[in-house]
Amino acid sequence: MGDHAPRGRGLAEKTIVVYPPDQAPEPAEEEAGRLLFAKSCDFVAGASTPEAMPPPSLPEVAFAGRSNVGKSSLLNALTGRNALARVSNTPGRTRQLNFFDLGHRLMLVDLPGYGYAEAPKHEVQRWTELTRLYLKGRSSLRRALLLIDARHGIKPADEPLMAMLDEAAVSFQIVLTKADKLAAKALSETLAGIAAALARHTAAHPVIHVTSAAEGTGIAALRAALAALAAPAPHC
């Protein structure tokens, strides 16, 4: 980031910064993101119990959100590959934590989608417990990305996860999805609602990313932000 102060939005007690349009990554940061996400991204493990999780080896970023929020599409857009989301969408894997090694520098962890009205109650309890154990106990977890549909904002179904993240003191960052589906005015209303909601959450990261997997908006900036969390590239 440059040495100029970020242009924040004082919409609530918490000042949030929105990427884009408030900020854009520096060219060097964007290049670091591009290089990282050009690396191969390989499926490592699908875990439906804590024992099945791979040992922590790399810095991790978890992707969470309601079913249908656009998680698979965003993962595809970031990695430029279908393979990753195809694994996560395989029947039996949608209720697991799926671990992907990105270039031996960052582990991407796809958490099961929640808020699906028809999910059986015991399934929901199992998912909640597994997610809680992961979030609380994972020493390598650097950040959680909480995906929110730009049209809908934060919903009651998102609250339990945010409460878990606060409790586990895992920094979480909002990523708006499907930004192509709404006009600028509606987007700023969504952002105002999110800023107010984030003020109640101690673990909330103040930078929000606005993305569209369909149009590619915000993807380079999100790659750059994730590259800043990755293990350093080995010198060649």
Ligand X SMILES: Nc1nc2c(ncn2[C@@H]2O[C@H](COP(=O)(O)OP(=O)(O)O)[C@@H](O)[C@H]2O)c(=O)[nH]1
Residues engaged in binding ligand X (CB under 6 A)? 65, 67-73, 113, 177-178, 180-181, 212-214
Nearest CA to 17 among 216, 219, 214, 194? Answer: 194
Find the shortest distance in angstroms from Cβ 132 to ligand X.
20
Distance of closest approach, residue 26 Cβ to ligand X, in angstroms = 25
Write the binding mask 20 to 59 for Mg ion: x where contact by CB under 5 A, - elsewhere: ----------------------------------------
Among 23, 72, 79, 173, binds Mg ion (CB under 5 A): 72
Answer yes or no whether residue 177 interacts with Mg ion by CB under 5 A.
no
User: What is the b/e burial string over 185-217, where b = at least 16 CB atoms within 10 angstroms of the residue's CB?
Assistant: eebeebbebbbebbeebebbbbbbbbbbbeeeb
**How many residues bind to Mg ion according to rule CB under 5 A?**
1
96 belongs to the binding site for Mg ion (CB under 5 A)? no
Q: Which positions touch Mg ion (CB under 5 A)?
A: 72
